[in-house]
Amino acid sequence: MREIRAAIVGAGGYAGAELAEILLRHPNVGARGIRGLFASAKREKEAAGGGGGIEEVFPRFRGRLSLPVRAASVEAIAECGAEAVFLATPHEASVELAPELLSRGMKVFDLSAGFRLKDAGLYPKYYGFEHRRPRELASAVYGLVEVNREEIRGADLVAVPGCYPTSAILPLRPLVSAGAVREGTRIIVDSVSGVSGAGRGLSLKSHFCEVSLQAYGVMGHRHEPEIGAYCGRSVVFTPHLVAFERGILSTIHVELSEGWDEERVGRVLREAYGSERFVRLLLAGQWPAVADVRGTNFCDVAWKASADGHLIISSAIDNLVKGAAGQAVQCMNVRFGVEESAGLM
């Protein structure tokens, strides 16, 4: 069996820990194939306070994975012998690390937004920094396997999609491509996410007693241009924070073009995803729920249209799996030519 040697940068965060979970059970990786765990100096210190291992940051790894969490540097990552490197890091860190890792022959799967947007001019507005790696930005492949599978097979740098965008792009892209969306109308995407989407860093609004259902990033959230770029149509996107641990539920409103109805929408979605392993098209009367996708790499999709052509689509994913770590591993599987569902079922 083809062994894949992997490293995780950002192992002290939620997505990094989810990556470790998936890679541990991956038949081509496993504990032996996880060659290095890296984190910020803060996370390294947190691990060192209890002995230096990942099990000190996340006790659920006790007896399962005992690698030390080391400070991230290009030299340390290269020395561990990994061929696949996952960057669960801040955007600016990924932009600096990825080109150096690529120059040393590693394949990079970036979970940040560092290489998702092709227009470098969008980064100052939406992410607060100047993007100074135009060559890598141009060569990066957007890692939505159901859309870019063939491109991912030959990619050295994969920009793993954002969690909210995944939940919106998967149902919208085939409909936009088929001309289902009426010209001159807006697509509305309203999404709710569990608190893990905010990361593991401390902030007042993610404290247990402070979490409440509320909108944020209204009319300008950083994921709005990503959704628009890859579904093929600009959208109005509003995210909401909700008081559960993990999961995303998106409700999408579309005005259908002349001649389109619920049955025709279903035909297009079934043609696009009927043979896809990780997109589940629900039966009429069934609606996605975050509990149904928790801990899985599935995206559940349902839809219903009114007689006058208003379409409502509902989708659900686990933001830490199909929205982050699971999607990254799915990309790795495609890139290294192993079973696409390895480690994910």
Could you list the active site residues? Answer: 163
Q: How many CB atoms lie within 10 A of CB 91?
A: 20
Q: CA 47 to CA 41: how far, in whole Å? A: 10
User: Which phi and psi angles does 76 have, rounded to 5°?
Assistant: -65, -40
C-alpha 179: how far from chain center: 27
CB 86 within 8 A of CB 34: no
Q: CA 278 to CA 147: how far, in whole Å? A: 12
- Give the H or E element holding residue 334: helix 326-335
Q: How many CB atoms lie within 10 A of CB 310?
A: 13
Q: CA 241 to CA 190: how far, in whole Å? A: 11
- The residues pairing with 317 across neighbouring beta strands, listed in sequence order, are 248
Tokens matching residue 234: 């600009």
DSSP state of 19: H
Q: Which amino acid does the sequence have at 91?
A: H
User: Which phi and psi angles does 95 have, rounded to 5°?
Assistant: -60, -35
Would you call 88 helix, strand, or coil by DSSP? coil
260: left (phi over 0), alpha (psi -120 to 50) or beta: beta
CB 83 within 8 A of CB 107: yes
Sequence-distant (6+) residues with CB within 8 A of 283 are none
